[in-house]
Structure 1
Amino acid sequence: MLNDLRSRHLSGRTGGQVAVCSAHPRVLAAAAARAKEGGDLLLVEATANQVNLSGGYTGLTPADFADRMTRLAAEKGLPAEQILLGADHLGPHLWRHLPAMEAMAHAEALARAYVAAGYQKLHLDTGRGCADDPRDHLPLESAAQRAACLCRAAESAARDVCRQPPLYVIGTEVPAPGGALGRQGVVTVTDPQDLSDELTAYEEAFNRAGVNQAWERIIAVVVQPGVDFDNHRAAAYDPQAAAALSAFHTQLPTAMTFEIHATDYQVPSALKEMVRDHFILLKIGPCLTFALREAFFALAHIENELPGLAHPSNLMAVMERLMQTHPEHWNTHCHGTDQERYFLRRYGLRDRIRYYWPRSEARRACERLMHNLHRPIPHALLKQFLPDLVGAIAGGALPATPEAILQARVRSALQPYADACRGHAHTA
């Protein structure tokens, strides 16, 4: 499980764990099918923005999301013991427009709800400020104290519902959800001395809050080994730049290892190097829905070329209309001229379109597309718009159905992460 990842590395073996941070049911279904086939643990994490007591942008509460995941896994034949649910970015950030005390009250209520719904891994993300905090930088002591308060709420909830207390992830070096690579494209690697100071502050805060017994269940600290992405590119992992941070892994306390956010779009060789260098918990999300969007758009192009359709889905036009009508999920993430913003809404690596798939208009258009393509698709159109899959389809390894095509594209994005996380003995 997750609490032995560090010990495996210290004993001379590698291996890690990918965390699927997505709420799209087709992404989750593909992840469950891949875990079933590989016999791997499926770690799925819902972000506080996606899933919260108000429903988030998915319309789901923690209990709703847990029920959905249980149902999807059962449909794919994935045993319950191979699934672990986590809560990502759990903290006051969602209510940052409020004073800290009020924002933390909301965050603590959400932490209790996640625990009550059976989530076993909580990322305590308290490094950013609220309305009455200093604007330039939240003091480390404040971030640590707030994480300890969230932990105390979660521990109390576990006792109240007679559940096993959860595992935790701490740290302040957390990229903003969805990619936060700056304009210069430079990512600063976490300084080991800063990390040491941070861990000391967190341990003291946990002791003061009376949750020192939970300190042993902190399985990871979020660090920055030099990877992130924006709309246009991903910063590639550089083992030399991260060498000092990697070496600090042996000095981490208890069962703690490194958790890395925004690892989306890293190439397979970089992922293997990251896991080798003890950056073990790899979180991804936008790259999976980006792959899903690619497949949906390819199918929409195929649909446009088919003659005689009485009711086309017009999927791409529907998604553009939704994003124009409800710009709050992309307008601060897509910059430039009107033409450039149009391009980024569709093809930006931050994949802001993922916020719109749960809307009823989008769901109807997707299902109309599925219906329209539930027929033999001409080989020429498969070759034109899905060249990466046409060989598998022609050879009979992949059904030429729209659902199978969507699943295959998501799995192809997920597979390099699963491959990198498979353990093996060091050979150096």
Structure 2
Amino acid sequence: MSLLLDRVARHKAGENVGIYSVCSAHPLVIEATFRHALKHDAPFVLIEATSNQVNQDGGYTGMKPADFRDYVAEIAERAGFPATRIVLGGDHLGPNAWTALTADEAMDRADVLIDQYVRAGFEKIHLDCSMSCVDDPIPLPEETIAARAARLCRVAEAASADAGTKPPVYVIGTEVPVPGGATEDLEPLQVTSPEAAHGTIAMHKELFPAEAWDRVIALVTQPGVEFDHHQVLDYRPEAAQDLSRSLDDIPGMVFEAHSTDYQTQEALTALVRDHFAILKVGPGVTFALREALWALDAMERDMLGNRASDFRQRVLAVMNDKPGNWQKYYHSSGADLQLDLQYSLSDRIRYYWPDPQIAQAQDEMFANLRASPPPLPLVSQYLPVAYAELRAGTLTNDPTELVMAHVMTTLDTYLKATDAGENRNA
């Protein structure tokens, strides 16, 4: 049985277990995820790529689906994580990257996208056709969304059969949060109604290939969680109880919760308890990555003064020179804009880490910190969790290990929420 199908079956049988999904293409985040799973004896790791990150045109990472598969496998091998415990997923797969085209053109490209993901061995496929193309009405009728998702499901089934890959499991849902967080100030959210959830399920079931329906494991709904640049809306269980119970009589299906980044440990645990059993995290882990990199920059400056790499300022210079990846999200100016570029919870800085100028600056900073390792008091000042591990002898002060230790603090909250205490080393 699929690792994901087994986990969902256990949850539906009454076990308080769930799945956390790490949506990031950054090598340090991915390696930290594998190291964290090894440390805690997690049964598998689910790594997901979005249609904007990875597609047949390369996405913003420059990788096609097969490239991303090989990239993740290489990092896993370096970390010593078994290939048999890696599950790859595709997030927001549909016409999202081509909404400036007509619907016919965008869906033709989405067909190719799905085909390539499945042939590359991606097992978890989130079919997201909720966005309007240039000739579509706004909002898009739910019937159209479901019909397009069913079309892509047929493409996936055909690709799996032809390529001999494991038949994929699917995630559906039309109430899909904006990838990467809201772009404006948050307002109270309307929790998805049970009637809407059941309507979405019924519509998709009618249109999907019968042989694929038993592998639809999750429905994306809005449980009332979100974040924007500066705020987080925390999960309130009392507001979602009707929705929580609405899948009790539907076998094999749980809820998938997007935008769970920055939720508290208590909130994440409650989400899994309330059957939002698949928790997605993306900006939350790359925000932790940026925190750690900024901490390294501060330590380097404290030690080396004007001989430091000036990493942070070089990153900001690139972002200001190349605003394409953030300008539609940030509407502030002056000092407020510079704060958002660095500290916004939506973390649009994540698009810039692969930039050659930034990669060079990071390499210089890491080389400086390896030549002049930061002393314990400085690590304590800026990265206290890493400091504790240094004192315990479970970590070195190599900059990559310091960064990954900080990222793992975010992964800790997801593991604790989804593992029901089953991991011996948690």
Alpha-carbon distance between aligned partners in 2 of 1:216 and 1:379, rounded to the nearest angstrom? 54
* 1:357 aligned partner: 353
Measured after TM superposition, the shift of residue 234 of structure 1 is 1.2
The correspondence of residues 110-149 of structure 1 with structure 2, limited to 5 A, is 110-135=113-138, 137-149=139-151
Is 1:153–2:155 an aligned residue pair? yes
Query: Quick one: which amino acid aligns to residue 272 of structure 1?
Result: T
- 2:321 paired residue among 325, 337, 352: 325
The correspondence of residues 13-412 of structure 1 with structure 2, limited to 5 A, is 13-40=15-42, 41-135=44-138, 137-180=139-182, 182-206=184-208, 211-252=209-250, 254-307=251-304, 310=307, 312-374=308-370, 375-412=372-409
8 A Cα contact 2:9 2:252, kept in partner: yes
8 A Cα contact 1:189 1:224, kept in partner: yes
8 A Cα contact 1:286 1:349, kept in partner: yes
User: TM-score, length-normalised on structure 2?
Assistant: 0.95
8 A Cα contact 2:52 2:96, kept in partner: no
Partner of 1:389, secondary structure, is helix
Partner of 1:199, secondary structure, is helix
8 A Cα contact 1:5 1:280, kept in partner: no
Partner of 1:148, secondary structure, is helix
Task: Note the aligned Cα RMSD (angstroms).
Answer: 1.5
**Count of residue pairs the alignment pairs up:** 418
Query: Quick one: which amino acid aligns to residue 326 of structure 2?
Result: W
Alpha-carbon distance between aligned partners in 1 of 2:318 and 2:418, rounded to the nearest angstrom? 37
Query: Quick one: which amino acid aligns to residue 214 of structure 2?
Result: E
8 A Cα contact 2:383 2:406, kept in partner: no
User: Is there any run of 5+ residues in structure 1 with no aligned partner, and where?
Assistant: none
8 A Cα contact 2:169 2:215, kept in partner: yes
Query: Quick one: which amino acid aligns to residue 70 of structure 2?
Result: D
8 A Cα contact 2:47 2:89, kept in partner: yes
Measured after TM superposition, the shift of residue 390 of structure 1 is 2.3
Measured after TM superposition, the shift of residue 181 of structure 1 is 6.8
Measured after TM superposition, the shift of residue 394 of structure 1 is 3.2
Alpha-carbon distance between aligned partners in 1 of 2:73 and 2:130, rounded to the nearest angstrom? 32
8 A Cα contact 2:395 2:401, kept in partner: yes
Partner of 2:248, secondary structure, is helix
Measured after TM superposition, the shift of residue 335 of structure 1 is 2.2
Alpha-carbon distance between aligned partners in 1 of 2:8 and 2:396, rounded to the nearest angstrom? 40
Measured after TM superposition, the shift of residue 398 of structure 1 is 2.3
Alpha-carbon distance between aligned partners in 2 of 1:36 and 1:245, rounded to the nearest angstrom? 35
Query: Quick one: which amino acid aligns to residue 194 of structure 1?
Result: A
8 A Cα contact 2:258 2:280, kept in partner: yes
8 A Cα contact 1:181 1:187, kept in partner: no
Alpha-carbon distance between aligned partners in 2 of 1:326 and 1:251, rounded to the nearest angstrom? 51
Name whichever of 275-284 and 32-41 sits farther off: 32-41
User: TM-score, length-normalised on structure 1?
Assistant: 0.94
Alpha-carbon distance between aligned partners in 2 of 1:274 and 1:308, rounded to the nearest angstrom? 46
Query: Quick one: which amino acid aligns to residue 91 of structure 2?
Result: D
8 A Cα contact 1:261 1:282, kept in partner: yes
8 A Cα contact 1:14 1:424, kept in partner: no
Alpha-carbon distance between aligned partners in 1 of 2:305 and 2:242, rounded to the nearest angstrom? 62
Alpha-carbon distance between aligned partners in 2 of 1:423 and 1:380, rounded to the nearest angstrom? 36
For residues 14 and 199 of structure 1, do their structure 2 counterparts lie closer, same or farther at Cα, with a shift above 3 Å needed? same
8 A Cα contact 2:389 2:395, kept in partner: yes
Alpha-carbon distance between aligned partners in 2 of 1:10 and 1:257, rounded to the nearest angstrom? 8
Alpha-carbon distance between aligned partners in 2 of 1:412 and 1:358, rounded to the nearest angstrom? 23
Query: Quick one: which amino acid aligns to residue 288 of structure 2?
Result: A
For residues 313 and 162 of structure 1, do their structure 2 counterparts lie closer, same or farther at Cα, with a shift above 3 Å needed? same
Name whichever of 318-327 and 104-113 sits farther off: 318-327
Query: Quick one: which amino acid aligns to residue 286 of structure 2?
Result: T
Partner of 1:307, secondary structure, is helix
Name whichever of 72-81 and 344-353 sits farther off: 72-81
Measured after TM superposition, the shift of residue 376 of structure 1 is 2.9
8 A Cα contact 2:11 2:18, kept in partner: no
Query: Quick one: which amino acid aligns to residue 376 of structure 2?
Result: H
Alpha-carbon distance between aligned partners in 1 of 2:221 and 2:381, rounded to the nearest angstrom? 42
Q: What percent identity do the matched residue pairs reach?
A: 43
Alpha-carbon distance between aligned partners in 1 of 2:362 and 2:333, rounded to the nearest angstrom? 29
8 A Cα contact 2:8 2:253, kept in partner: yes
Partner of 1:288, secondary structure, is helix
Q: Deviations over 1:341-398 (max 9, x none)?
A: 1101000100110000011111111111110000331333223322343233234332
Q: After TM superposition, what 4+ stretches of structure 1 lie above 4 angstroms from structure 2?
A: none
Alpha-carbon distance between aligned partners in 1 of 2:232 and 2:384, rounded to the nearest angstrom? 24
Measured after TM superposition, the shift of residue 182 of structure 1 is 4.8
